Amino acid sequence: MSFLRRDRRGVSVTVGYVLMLVVAMLMMATLLTAASGLMEGQSERVIDEELTVIGNQLAANLNEADRLAQVARADADTTGGSVTVRRTARLPDRVAGTGYLIEIGSGTITLSTTNPTVEVTVSYPETDVAIASTGQLTGSDVRIVYDYSDDELDVDQ
């Protein structure tokens, strides 16, 4: 009888240890899965906020270049000369570790990323000088140039 008890105790300790390891691994797997979903959602929110800030910075630079172009246009009209205005919008290359694209439309700036997919649209006030953009721009510094002969703000990199 005592021989059977020792067997049961030896097996119960081993089985208990294995069960404890299995339960611990299941808990870790569950926590990691939940944390990865939380991190992805947090990353999208951070990217959305950063793109909004960048869009507002670019809108402010466009507005400032428009005001400078109006002054330059008035100066060129009175003096009969040719005037050029150059402005560089210093924008980051990446947001939350991923690249982004910029598209300037009529009254809106659209910024987007692909991994994760986030798109932000920022409005800017109507400009007196027409804006010409060369399609989509990659996220980095953007040049805004006004040349009196073209009478438009060229936006490119």
**Domain map (residue ranges) of the chain:** 45-156
Which of the four pLDDT bands, split at 50, 70 and 90, describes residue 9?
Answer: low
Task: Calculate the alpha carbon distances from 129 to 26, 68, 152, 156 in Å.
Answer: 63, 10, 5, 16
With contact defined as beta carbons under 8 Å apart, do 86 and 143 qualify? yes
- Please name which of 1, 111, 114, 118 lies closest in space to residue 57, comparing C-alpha atoms: 111
Q: Using one digit for the tens of pLDDT, what is the confidence trace for 80-132?
A: 778 888 999 999 999 988 999 999 988 899 999 988 889 999 998 888 888 88
On average, the pLDDT of the chain sits at 85
3 Cβ contact partners less than 8 Å away, ≥ 6 residues apart: none
Give the confidence band of 15 by pLDDT, cuts at 50, 70, 90.
Answer: confident
The pTM score is: 0.72
Residue 3 confidence class, pLDDT cut points 50, 70, 90: low
Confidence (pLDDT) at 99? 92
CA distance 104 to 111: 9
